[in-house]
Amino acid sequence: MTTCTITDVQRIDFAEGEDNSIDEHVLTCDACQAFLADLWEGQLSTDLSEPVMRVVGLEEFVIAVIKEGGGILARIGEALRVYGMGEESK
């Protein structure tokens, strides 16, 4: 394992977009990524896991339905029974 020679100042310049010369290096350097992970900690004000997991859950549901084949109509019927259809328009 080689030692990273990039300085913290270079890393911060990179993070600020002022120096892209270490772009390729950062792609594979654990030390630089660890520094950036620490620098970027807390930047995001929302939790992305909720929207991401909604889509993932839906994808898994669709995959499961497709795999079941003949059970598709039954699953759709069950979903309509559980979640209703057009309830909000009443």
Partner 1 sequence: MSKRGCATGVQNLDDYELVTAVQAGDLEAFGELVRRHQDFVYGAVLRVVRNPTVAEDISQDCFLRAYRALPDFRGDSQVRSWLYRIAHNLAVNAVTRRREYATETMPETVAASGAGPEHSAEVSEMAAAMGDAIEALPEDLKAPLVLRELEHKSYEEIATELQLPLNTVRTRIFRARRALQSQMREWQ
Interface residue list for partner 1 (CB under 8 A): 8-9, 12, 14-17, 26-28, 30, 33, 36-37, 39-53, 55-57, 60
| DSSP assignments along 29-71, one per residue | -HHHHHHHHHHHTT---S-THHHHHHHHHHHHHHHHHHHHGGG
**Quick one: 57 or 77, whose CB is closer to partner 1?**
57
Cβ at position 42, least distance to partner 1 in Å: 6
Nearer to partner 1, 38 or 87 (CB): 38
Gap between the Cα atoms of 6 and 36, Å rounded: 12
